[in-house]
């Protein structure tokens, strides 16, 4: 609905419609539209990578752009990154310096997730395109704001997972494209249940659990810990909170589900054609969570309003189960298909709709990237619905239009969570 009761066109309605139009817009930079009086700049895209401790080092190697700046609140990480790069690449500790650099086209956000929303939004407001690590945001509210900022400022955004358009994904044993063909064919029937767990090829990495006995330790001299915490509540320093093990703490991520969830769930959202909506229910079976440290869960079920379900298996019950099951058939790991009375289910199926899978090309030609802020926010919402239910230890109902929990004001306090200091979304 684009208009409210007074007849005014609302941004939410407009943006919602935009998402429904299958990421239907494009923005053309100065050099692409050209025209009289313009000198086309080089086609070379430049980037700055914020967060170069773990994932960010991988971003330095992505082909297609030239790194002009790196940023990290850990001087050790910063030095290591700079040492690996050409002379002339600038380094800084404060990402706001990167946003002020006029020669940076794309900001790569490879920090821990509690920073993703803030930095991505500020980058979009500064006129930068954004390549953001998964999970896209730590809360549903941050995701809503990020979608607004990217679209209002006409920026390009990509989330750093790719299985909806490329590569065999994890243990499943196939790319998504042929699965999409089968799902789109309708041969499996509708609604569908998709099971994601070790039995169907996916591992939620429960070693990403936090510790509860964190006796404070001195902050290393090279780390600006206060900046590392940023919007997160202050907690005394302990090495297990930061760098390689931060995913085990609710303030920064959501354990293995936060780490791997969007990798596994974004393709499912694509397969089900749910890029513009969210589930209406989430059911959880999990032990009580520590207030600070993330631990394991057994089962999470995300249910859409048409009856489609995504079942996340955290304890191995999916062994031997189909990856996708519908009223008329089953699709197992490695693309094995069982469909009643059908032998050749791939027969006559058209290829899926085209997707843009080269982000730097999209930066140049301003076509919408396959996994962008709109559908990325929706697949991140799957993750955040799961982590919220696990954290609260109870089932929740969700309104996919308002993007709020239904009749549950207390749960809604987790949609937008307070941020420390000046940080905001």
Question: Interface with another protein includes 102 (CB under 8 A)?
Answer: no
The answer to whether the CB of 47 falls within 8 A of the CB of 65 is: yes
**222 phi/psi in degrees, rounded to 5:** -80, -10
Give the nearer residue to another protein in terms of CB position, either 190 or 234. Answer: 234
CA angle 356, 358, 361 (to 5 degrees): 100
Closer to another protein at the Cβ: 78 or 149? Answer: 149
Q: Write the interaction track for another protein spanning residues 17-36; mark x where CB under 8 A is met and - where it is not.
A: xx--xxxxxxxxxxxxxxx-
Q: Is 335 in the site for another protein (CB under 8 A)?
A: no
Residue 117 CB, shortest distance to another protein, in Å, is: 14
Rg (CA), the chain: 22
Task: Calculate ∠ Cα 241-245-248, nearest 5°.
Answer: 75
Which of residues 1, 10, 43, 103 is near another protein by CB under 8 A?
10
DSSP per-residue codes, 362-400:
HHHH-PPPSS-HHHHHHHHHHHHHHHHHHHHTS-EEEET
Answer positive or negative: Cα dihedral of 187, 192, 197, 202.
positive
127 binds another protein (CB under 8 A): yes
Q: How many CA atoms lie within 13 A of 286 on its CB side?
A: 28
CB of 342 to another protein, least distance (A): 12
Apex 190 CA angle, 266 and 260, nearest 5: 20
User: Quick one: which of 42, 83, 218, 347 contacts another protein (CB under 8 A)?
Assistant: 347
CB of 87 to another protein, least distance (A): 28
Residue 69 · residue 89 · CB < 8 Å: yes
Which residues, at least 6 apart from 409, have a Cβ–Cβ distance to it below 8 Å?
none
> Is position 334 an interface residue for another protein (rule: CB under 8 A)?
no
Regarding 4 and contact with another protein (CB under 8 A), the answer is yes
Binder among 55, 60, 126, 335 for another protein (CB under 8 A): 126
346 binds another protein (CB under 8 A): yes
Query: What letter does residue 197 receive in the DSSP assignment?
Result: S
Considering only residues 288 through 317, tell me which ones interact with another protein, judged by CB under 8 A. Answer: 288-292
Give the shortest CB-75-to-another protein separation in angstroms: 25
Count, residues near another protein per rule CB under 8 A: 87
Single out the residue of 133, 148, 187, 309 in contact with another protein (rule: CB under 8 A). 148
Cβ nearer to another protein, comparing 127 with 307: 127
189 touches another protein (CB under 8 A)? no
Q: Provide the 10 A C-beta neighbour count for residue 320.
A: 9
354 binds another protein (CB under 8 A): yes
**Contact between 86 and another protein (CB under 8 A)?**
no
418 forms part of the interface with another protein (CB under 8 A): yes
What distance in Å separates the CA atoms of residue 184 and residue 292, rounded to the nearest whole number? 42
Residue numbers 197-256 binding another protein by CB under 8 A: 212-216, 233-236
| Least distance (Å) between residue 399 CB and another protein | 14
Of 84-92, 194-202, 283-291, 380-388, which segment contacts another protein by CB under 8 A?
283-291
* C-alpha of 219 from chain center: 30
Per CB under 8 A, the list member of 39, 88, 320, 353 interacting with another protein is 353
Closer to another protein by CB, 341 or 350: give it. 350
CB 203 within 8 A of CB 330: no
Cβ nearer to another protein, comparing 137 with 200:
137
Q: How many CA atoms lie within 13 A of 394 on its CB side?
A: 8
Site membership for another protein, residue 341 (CB under 8 A): no
CB of 358 to another protein, least distance (A): 11
Q: What are phi and psi of 313, to 5 degrees?
A: -100, 115
39 burial (CB, 10 Å; 0-12 / 13-18 / 19+) is exposed
Contact stretch for another protein (CB under 8 A) within 13-21, 44-52, 103-111, 325-333: 13-21
Task: Name the β-bridge partners of 232.
Answer: none
Asked if 153 touches another protein (CB under 8 A), the answer is yes
The residue from 14, 66, 93, 316 that contacts another protein (CB under 8 A) is 14
Q: Is 111 helix (H, G, I), strand (E, B) or coil?
A: coil
Q: Tell me whether residue 66 or residue 152 sits nearer to another protein (CB atom).
A: 152
The window from 148-156, 256-264, 266-274, 333-341 that contacts another protein (CB under 8 A) reads 148-156
Q: Distance (Å, rounded) from C-alpha 314 to C-alpha 396? A: 19
DSSP bridge pairs for 188: none
Bridge partner list, 159: 132
CA 222, chain centre distance (Å): 29
Restricted to residues 385-404, the positions that interact with another protein (CB under 8 A) are 392-395
């Amino acid at each position: 609905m684009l208009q409210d009761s007074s007849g005014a066109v609302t941004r939410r309605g407009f943006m919602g419609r935009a998402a429904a139009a299958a990421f239907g817009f494009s923005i053309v930079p100065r050099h692409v539209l050209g025209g009289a009086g313009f000198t086309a700049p080089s086609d070379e895209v430049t980037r700055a990578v914020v967060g170069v401790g773990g994932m960010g080092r991988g971003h330095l190697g992505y082909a297609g752009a030239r790194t002009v700046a790196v940023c990290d609140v850990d001087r050790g990480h910063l030095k290591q990154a700079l040492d690996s790069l050409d002379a002339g690449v600038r380094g800084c500790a404060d990402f706001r310096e990167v946003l002020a650099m006029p020669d940076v086209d794309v900001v790569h956000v490879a920090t821990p997730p509690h920073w993703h929303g803030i930095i991505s939004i500020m980058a979009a407001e500064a006129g930068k395109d954004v390549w953001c690590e998964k999970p896209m945001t730590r809360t549903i509210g941050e995701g809503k704001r990020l979608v607004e900022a990217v679209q209002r400022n006409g920026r390009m955004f990509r989330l750093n997972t790719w299985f909806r358009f490329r590569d065999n994904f994890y243990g499943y044993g196939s790319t998504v494209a042929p699965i999409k063909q089968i799902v789109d064919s309708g041969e499996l029937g509708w609604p569908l249940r998709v099971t994601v767990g070790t039995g169907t090829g996916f591992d939620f990495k429960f070693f990403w659990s936090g510790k509860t006995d964190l006796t404070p330790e001195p902050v290393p001299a090279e780390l600006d810990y206060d900046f590392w915490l940023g919007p997160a509540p202050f907690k005394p320093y302990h090495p297990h909170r930061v760098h390689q093990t931060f995913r085990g703490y609710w303030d920064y991520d959501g354990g293995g589900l936060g780490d791997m969830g969007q990798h596994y769930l974004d393709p499912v959202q694509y397969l089900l054609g749910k890029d513009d909506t969210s589930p209406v229910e989430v059911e959880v079976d999990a032990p009580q969570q520590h207030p600070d440290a993330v631990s394991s869960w057994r089962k999470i079920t995300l249910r859409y309003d048409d009856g489609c379900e995504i079942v996340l298996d955290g304890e191995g019950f999916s062994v031997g189960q189909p990856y996708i099951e519908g009223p008329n058939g089953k699709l197992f790991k490695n693309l094995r298909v069982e469909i009643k009375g059908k032998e050749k289910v791939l027969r006559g199926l058209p290829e899926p709709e085209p997707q843009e899978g080269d982000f730097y090309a999209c930066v140049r030609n301003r076509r919408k990237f396959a996994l962008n802020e709109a559908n990325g926010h929706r697949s991140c919402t799957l993750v955040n619905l799961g982590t919220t239910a696990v954290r609260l230890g109870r089932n929740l109902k969700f309104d996919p239009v308002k993007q709020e929990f239904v009749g549950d004001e207390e749960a809604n306090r987790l949609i937008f969570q307070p941020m420390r200091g000046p940080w905001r979304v």
